[in-house]
Amino acid sequence: MYLNKLIEIFKDLEVSTKNIREFLKSDDYFANYNNYQELTEIVKSTNYGLLEIDGRLAELNLTPEEIQAYSSIKKVLLAFKNNHVLRYPNGLLEQIRNAHVTKSIIEKLKEKQKLYQSKYQKYTKIVDDCDTLTKIITELQKLTSNDYINPDLMTLISDFLENKEEYNQDQEQVFKRNNRIYKLIMEQNIEAYNYELKQVMAERTHRSYTKTQTELITKDELLKVFNQYGYDITNLNNEVINEFKHSISKEDLINNFEFLKKHLSLPTTMDSKTLTIICGCNGEIINYLEDFSNKYGISIIKLMQVTPNIFISKRNSIKSNLEKDSIPIQSAFKDFVPNVNLIESLGYNIYDSYSTCPSVFTYSNSTLKNNVQSLEVYGIKKDKLAKNFKLSGLKSTEILSTIDAFIEVGELDYLLSNTSRLCISYDSPMLYRLYFVKKYNESHPNSKIEYKSKRNPNNLSNIISNLEDNTLGINSTNALERTNTIIPQVFDVDTTKNIEDKIKENNVTYDFTKINNPYITYLEQNNKVSNNAYNICGVIISRFKVLRLYASLSNMSSSTDKLLLFCITYHSKITAQEFAHMKEYVESIVNEPLIGGRK
């Protein structure tokens, strides 16, 4: 019931969001934004750039005087362009670039670009919202009425609701809608929890579940056991009493109390952690955690305080506190055991690791294993991790893209010395600040910005590394504008999303550095500057990014030049001019008969 209501709400949201997307799409924001951005760069930096806007003067609202001045410049440029023998007189190009009309055209192009930029960003956000909604609905439809909405899906939903682009929506209505969604999630999880308790009861009594709930312990026995260990629970509400009666046997309850008694001075406060252990623990967990505690010197009390969810069995997810409507805590025991084995196999000291980063022990085991494999792809061997790698870095959700980004700003060594930075996103303001400083220092050799820490030259100063501040005038909202970079658009939005989904699906595990492809071979022979990087048109590009993406996408039907350009520029921080140069370069490779192109 609750699940169906949730799906209905999100389907209505999906329809309305797609309608907004189609409405916004009526004006081609992407084409206009990229077009004006590219035109601005061409006019600023190429000899015949002004000729590119011929026929578009009406769009720029030039004055009659400016149109006349442009016509004069156009005649001069055409004369030289059509006669390859002629050479520009000294200073002529500088005069043209400094002419009032040229500067006016550049400013008007920037105004046009700025006009479409906000629309472009809004449309992009709406497209992202549509994709997220589709994913949420798909995940909800996979569930049955007895399933939990797991933490990953809850995070996806909450992130979406917090960041959704609302379009002409009353804020009070949005607030009410979101509250209803959260309430339905809670009710669905409580229903799933109640069902799970019934299943546990059925398993323990060795018979199928019927509508008549069987008590594993009577109320009188329950009160007696609690009194035996110093607790008076007669004032607890019936909800909590019933939770005990139908989820734990008298034998298990006594065993759990004896376990607590070994490590705590009973009676202790009946808080949520104590309740978790009393109601959710079992013999298997007790035996494992006591062995773990003895082997690694981490006390049971510390385990209770820091990671209480490892004391819950897979079947016995329980409520987090004594309140009626609390949402069940999910067991972390199933991830804890393989994570201990993985962390130790990588050479980390378990005691030190748990002391500094306990959250990694209850993290998704599949994510940790995938990240270790991903690091090996980039030449970071797992037997070297413990010496140079902070364990928290393994929790990154975009580990490959983050490594690519640090390679492309020339700071891979910094990343490998500060591996907690693997948890930041590839489009973090920190990376844009690095890009900005590197570009600035290249063009201002006599007034460079110092971006290394004075105390430790291997680290970055606060003007770069502070993730939140607006240092260097760069933050998450203005990074593109401040660095004069673009989000490369090789394909239309829908195609790009399909490609990104394909990248996620195709986790390439074979040695993709041995791709048998003439265009990749050309890049390897002509553009490879290190094991990690290509230099393409003066821009450092992550070599492994190109190889990894091309291996994932090589079976696509898209044209070869576009596909190769996408793999090169994906998530890269480049200007419109650099993108144009790369586009020409890729086309020249693909169309060259000697390389393998069209004859």
> Which of 157-161, 180-184, 389-393, 519-523 has the least mean pLDDT?
389-393
Q: Cα dist. 154→122, 139, 184, 298 in Å?
A: 25, 11, 12, 32
Query: pLDDT exceeding 70 applies to what percent of the chain?
Result: 78
Q: Assess contact for 351 and 297: CB atoms under 8 A.
A: yes
In the numeric block, the tokens 């290509």 are attached to 534
Asked whether residue 366 carries a pLDDT value surpassing 60, the answer given is yes
- pLDDT per residue over 167-226, tens digit each? 666 777 888 888 889 888 888 888 777 776 666 554 444 333 333 445 678 888 888 888
Q: Assess contact for 371 and 396: CB atoms under 8 A.
A: yes
Q: CB count, 10 Å around CB of 334? A: 15
Asked whether residue 500 carries a pLDDT value surpassing 70, the answer given is yes
Query: pLDDT exceeding 90 applies to what percent of the chain?
Result: 17
Query: Sorting pLDDT into bands at 50, 70 and 90, what band is 66?
Result: confident
More confident residue, 7 or 29: 7
Asked whether residue 562 carries a pLDDT value surpassing 60, the answer given is yes
- pLDDT per residue over 127-145, tens digit each? 778 888 888 998 888 888 8
Cα separation of 8 and 312, whole Å? 33
Asked whether residue 321 carries a pLDDT value surpassing 80, the answer given is no
Highest mean pLDDT out of 96-105, 322-331, 353-362, 507-516: 353-362
Q: CB count, 10 Å around CB of 525? A: 8
Q: Which two tokens stand for residue 275?
A: 């309740």
Highest mean pLDDT out of 397-411, 417-431, 506-520: 397-411
Q: Assess contact for 215 and 222: CB atoms under 8 A.
A: no
Which pLDDT score, from 0 to 100, does residue 24 have?
65
Q: Which two tokens stand for residue 328?
A: 């069940």
Which pLDDT score, from 0 to 100, does residue 341 have?
95
Which pLDDT score, from 0 to 100, does residue 351 have?
94
Query: Sorting pLDDT into bands at 50, 70 and 90, what band is 367?
Result: confident
Query: Sorting pLDDT into bands at 50, 70 and 90, what band is 404?
Result: very high
Query: Sorting pLDDT into bands at 50, 70 and 90, what band is 529?
Result: very high
Asked whether residue 244 carries a pLDDT value surpassing 80, the answer given is no
Asked whether residue 463 carries a pLDDT value surpassing 80, the answer given is no
Which pLDDT score, from 0 to 100, does residue 8 have?
87
Asked whether residue 450 carries a pLDDT value surpassing 70, the answer given is yes
Q: Which amino acid is at 469?
A: D
For every residue of 420-472, DSSP letters joined together read GGGGS-TT-HHHHHHHHHHHHHHH-TTSPPP-B-SS-TTSB-HHHH-SSS-GG
For every residue of 497-538, DSSP letters joined together read HHHHHHHHH----S-GGG---HHHHHHHHHTB-SSSEEEETT
Query: Sorting pLDDT into bands at 50, 70 and 90, what band is 432?
Result: very high
Looking at residues 362-367, what average pLDDT do you find? 87
Instruction: Compute the C-alpha angle 236/238/241, nearest 5°.
Output: 70
Query: Among 400, 571, 543, which residue's Cα sits nearest to residue 480?
Result: 571
Counting runs of H as helices and runs of E as strands, what totals does the chain give? 28, 4
Which pLDDT score, from 0 to 100, does residue 583 have?
93
Q: Which two tokens stand for residue 383?
A: 């037997």
Query: Sorting pLDDT into bands at 50, 70 and 90, what band is 377?
Result: confident
Helices (H), 218-364: 219-228, 238-247, 250-263, 272-280, 283-296, 300-306, 333-345, 350-356
Instruction: Compute the C-alpha angle 91/95/101, nearest 5°.
Output: 165
Cα separation of 492 and 155, whole Å? 28
Q: How many residues comprise the chain?
A: 599
Q: Which residues, other chains included, contact 469 with Cβ-Cβ below 8 Å and sequence gap of 6+?
A: 462
Looking at residues 28-48, what average pLDDT do you find? 63
Which pLDDT score, from 0 to 100, does residue 507 have?
54
Query: Sorting pLDDT into bands at 50, 70 and 90, what band is 476?
Result: confident
Looking at residues 324-329, what average pLDDT do you find? 48
Asked whether residue 28 carries a pLDDT value surpassing 90, the answer given is no
Asked whether residue 457 carries a pLDDT value surpassing 50, the answer given is yes
Asked whether residue 48 carries a pLDDT value surpassing 50, the answer given is yes
Asked whether residue 100 carries a pLDDT value surpassing 50, the answer given is yes
For every residue of 85-145, DSSP letters joined together read T--PPTTHHHHHHHSHHHHHHHHHHHHHHHHHHHHHHHHHHHHHHHHHHHHHHHHHHT--T
Which pLDDT score, from 0 to 100, does residue 568 have?
96
The answer to pTM > 0.85 is no
Q: Assess contact for 376 and 344: CB atoms under 8 A.
A: no
Which pLDDT score, from 0 to 100, does residue 211 have?
38
Cα separation of 522 and 525, whole Å? 5
Asked whether residue 319 carries a pLDDT value surpassing 80, the answer given is no
Which pLDDT score, from 0 to 100, does residue 414 have?
85
Looking at residues 353-367, what average pLDDT do you find? 89
